[in-house]
Structure 1
Amino acid sequence: MREDEIIEKLQRLGLTKYESLAYITLLKLGPSKATDVTKESGIPHTRVYDVLSSLHRKGFVDVMQGTPRLYKPVNPEVVLEKIKEDLIEDIEVLKRAFLDLYREAHGEELPEIWTIQGFENTVERAEHIIRTAKYEVLINTPFEFLKLLQSEIKNRKDVIFVIISNFGEEIPEWLRQDNIILAKSGGAPWLMASWIIGDVNYALFFGALPRDRRREKFYSFWAKSPRIIQNYMHWFYTIYFDNSEVIKPLNYNGLSKPLSLVNIRTLITVLKFAGLPRKAEIVGRYIDTKEPVNLEGKIVDYEYTPLTANITFRYNGSELKVGGIGSYFEDVEGEKFILLD
C-alpha cells in the first residue's frame, strides 16, 4: 500500500495529516528524537512537539524520558486493536441512542423494510416467520407455496394459524390441527398477493409465483414495524379473509389456555368460534392518557366491520371499548389479548 493511502486511512481513524506522517516516520526510524522526525517527515519544527504529544495522548506513541527525549511508536497491532474496540463500542452506543430517540418520538421501533431476492430466500424468510412467531401467523398464498411450509406449520401447535388459499376438495392431514383456521379463497383476491405475517414482528409480501426456473430473479418484501404490520393485518382480514369461505374452523376447546393474541381481528375471529363471554386479560394503554394498563375481566361483546374492530370488556363493574394497536375511538389500545378460559 502506498504511503499516501496509509495516511488517508489514518486520517479516517482520527489522526491529522501531520500525526499520520509522524507515526509512519517513527515506524521507519524506531525510537527517535523530535528533530529526527522533523528531518525525515518534513513536519515543521514548530509543530513537531505538539504533534508527538497529541500522538502520545491518542496512544500511538510512547515517550522515553531522558536527554534527549525519545519517541517510540506503539506496536500497530496493539494501537489499532484498541481503536477497533473503541469504535465498535461507540457504534453500539450510537445505535441504541438513535433507536431510543426514534422510539421516544414515534412510540415504536424504527421501521425496517427490505427487498429479498431469490425464491429460495423468500421460502426461508417465510419459514423463519412461522418458527419465531409467539402468538399468531396469518397466511394468504396459493397452495403451491403453502405446501413448501408444511414442515414448519406441522411443528407449531402453540400458535394460531389463519390460512387462506385456493384449497381443493380435500383438506390435507397436516392442516387439520386444532390451532388452524382454513379459508378457501373466494376467487381473484388470493391471486393479487401473498402475505405471511407473524405477530406484529415480521411480514413477508410478494406477488405471483415464478413460473420458470429463473427463481433467482424472484423478489419479495420483508417488513419489521408493528404499526405497518397492523395495517397489513387489517388488509389481510378485510380484503382476503372476509371475502373467503371458512372450510375448517378453530377447535377452541382443544387448545391450551391461556391463549395469547396480538391482533384485534384475530381475537374476534377466535371469539366467533369460542363464544362469549370469555375471561381475558388485556395488556395495553389508555388512549386518552397513554397510561399503561393490565386489565383482567370479561369480553362480553365485539364489533367487527371493514372499518372498525373492537371488543366490549367488562372490568370492575364498568365496560370499556378496547381496540387494537393504533386505536383512537376506543377507551383502550390493546397490545396483547390473553384468553383465560
Structure 2
Amino acid sequence: MIKEEIIQKLQKFGLTKYESLAYITLLKLGPSKATDVTRESGIPHTRIYDVLSSLSKKGFVDVMHGTPRLYAPVNPELVLERLKKELIEDIENLKRAFEDLYKETHGEELPEIWTIHGFENTVERAEYIIRAAKHEVLINTPFEFLKQLRDAIERRDDVLMIIISNFENVPKWLSEKENVILAKSGEAPWLMGTWVIGDVNYALFFGTLPENKGKERFYSFWAKSAKLIQNYVHWFYTMYFDNSRKIKELDYDKLGKPVVLTHIRTIITVLKSVGTNRKIEVIGRSLKDKTQVKVVGRVINFEYTPLTANITIETEKGEKLRVGGLGSYLEDIEGEVFLLY
C-alpha cells in the first residue's frame, strides 16, 4: 500500500494529513526528535510540536521526556486494536440511537425484511429461528423440509412448538416431545407455503420446495418486525392450523410453569386443550392510555374467530378485562407476554 493510501485511511480515523505523515515518519525512524520528524516528513517546523502533541493525546505517540525530548510511535497493532474497539462501540451506539429514534415514532423496533438466496442458507435461517426463540415456535411445512430441522427441534424442550405438516406416520423424535402440538395439514393449497416463526422476533417464508438443480437459485424471505410477524401468525392459524387436523396434544402437565407465550392465538389454542379457569399473568399495554400494565387473574372465557382472538380475565378484585394480542384495538389490554399457570 502506498503512503498516500495509508494517509487517506488514517484520515478516516480522525487524523489530519500532518498527523498521519508524522506517525508514518516515526514508524520509519523510531524514537526521534521533533526536528528529525520535520526534516524527514516535510511538516513545517512551526506546526510539528502541535502535531506531535495531538498525536500523543490521540494515543499514537509516546513522549519520552528528557534532553532532547523524543517522540516514539505506539505499536501499530495496539493502535489498530484500540481503533477497532472504538469503531465497533461507535457503530453499536449509533445502531441503538437509530433504533430508539425509529421506535419513538413507530412504536416498534426497526423492521428487517431480507431475501435469502440459496436453499442451504434458508435451512440455516430456519434453524436459527428455532434456536433463538425464547417462548414459542410455529412451523408449517412439508415433512421433507421438517426433517431438515430435526436436530434444532430435538434440542428445544424449553419452548412450546406448534408444527403442521403432511404427516403420514409421526416419527418418535416428534411424537415423544412433551412441548409439541402436531397437526396434519389439510389438502392443497394449505401446504403451498412454509412458515417458521419464532416469538415476535423472526419469521421465515418460502413457497414450494426446490428440486435439486434449483437449490442454488432458491429464494426465501426473512423478516424481523413485530407488526409484520403479528400478521404472519394470524395467517398461520386461520389459513393453516384451523384447517388442519390436530394429531398430538401438548403434555401440559409435564411442562415447567408458568408456560410463557407471546401470541394470543397460541394461548387460546392451549386453553382449548387444558380448559379455562387457569391462573394467568399478562404483561402489556392499556389501550386506553398506552401505559405499561400487568394483569393477574384467572381466564374465564375466550373468543376465537378468523377476525378476533381475545381472552377474558377476572382479577382478584373481580374486575373483568378483555385481553388481545399485539395490534389489539377492540380489547382493554394489548398483551405482549402471557404467563399461563
What TM-score do the two structures reach when normalised by structure 1?
0.86
Q: How far is 1:267 from its partner?
A: 1.1
Residue 24 of structure 2: aligned partner? 24
Shift of residue 322, structure 1, vs aligned partner: 0.3
* Counterpart secondary structure, 2:145: helix
Task: Provide structure 1 residue ranges, at least 5 long, that are not aligned to the other structure.
Answer: none
CA contact (8 A) 1:189 1:240 kept: no
Residue 307 of structure 2 aligns to a residue whose secondary structure is coil
Q: 2:302 & 2:92 partners in 1: Cα distance?
A: 45
- How big is each residue's C-alpha offset from its partner over 1:82-101, in whole Å with a ceiling of 9 and x where there is no partner? 33333333334333433444
Q: Secondary structure at the match of 2:276?
A: coil
Which AA in structure 2 matches 1:317? G
Q: Contact 1:183/1:244 (CA < 8 Å) preserved in 2?
A: yes
Does residue 322 in structure 1 map to residue 333 in structure 2?
no
Distance in 2 (alpha carbons) for counterparts of 1:30 and 1:254: 70
Offset from partner CA, 1:150-183 (integer Å, 9 cap, x none)? 3443444443322222233x44444434543333
Q: Note the 1:50-199 alignment, pairs <5 A.
A: 50-65=50-65, 69-168=69-168, 170-177=169-176, 178-199=178-199
Q: Using the TM superposition, give the Cα deviation of residue 308 of structure 1 relative to its aligned residue in structure 2, in angstroms.
A: 1.4
Q: Secondary structure at the match of 1:276?
A: coil
1:245 counterpart residue number: 245
Q: Counterpart in 2 of 1:337?
A: 338
Do the aligned residues in 2 keep the contact of 1:142 with 1:165 (CA within 8 Å)?
A: yes
Where 1:217 maps in the other structure, the secondary structure is coil
The answer to whether the 8 Å contact 2:186/2:244 transfers is yes
Among all aligned residue pairs of Structure 1 and Structure 2, give the percentage whose two residues are the same amino acid: 69
Q: 1:70 to 1:248 in 2, by over 3 A?
A: closer
- Shift of residue 243, structure 1, vs aligned partner: 2.6
CA shift, 1:22, in A, is: 2.2
Which residue is 2:208 aligned to? 208
Describe the SS at the equivalent of 1:303: strand
Provide TM-score, normalisation by structure 2.
0.86
Note the C-alpha offset of 1:213.
Answer: 4.0
Describe the SS at the equivalent of 1:47: helix
- How far the C-alpha of 1:135 sits from its partner, in A, is 2.6
Q: Cα deviations across residues 25-79 of structure 1 (Å, max 9, x unaligned)?
A: 2333344444443333233344333323322322333445566654443343343
2:190 and 2:239 in contact (8 A); partners too:
no
- Residue deviations 1:127-154, cap 9 Å, x none? 3333443332211111211233334434
Quote how far apart the aligned CAs of 1:325 are: 1.4
In the alignment, residue 52 of structure 1 is paired with which amino acid?
L
Query: Which amino acid in the other structure matches residue 108 of structure 1?
Result: E
CA distances 1:95-127 after superposition (whole Å, capped 9, x unpaired): 343344444444433333333333233223323
Q: Give the RMSD, CA atoms, in angstroms.
A: 2.7
- Offset at residue 271 of structure 1 (A): 1.6
Gaps of 5+ in 2: none
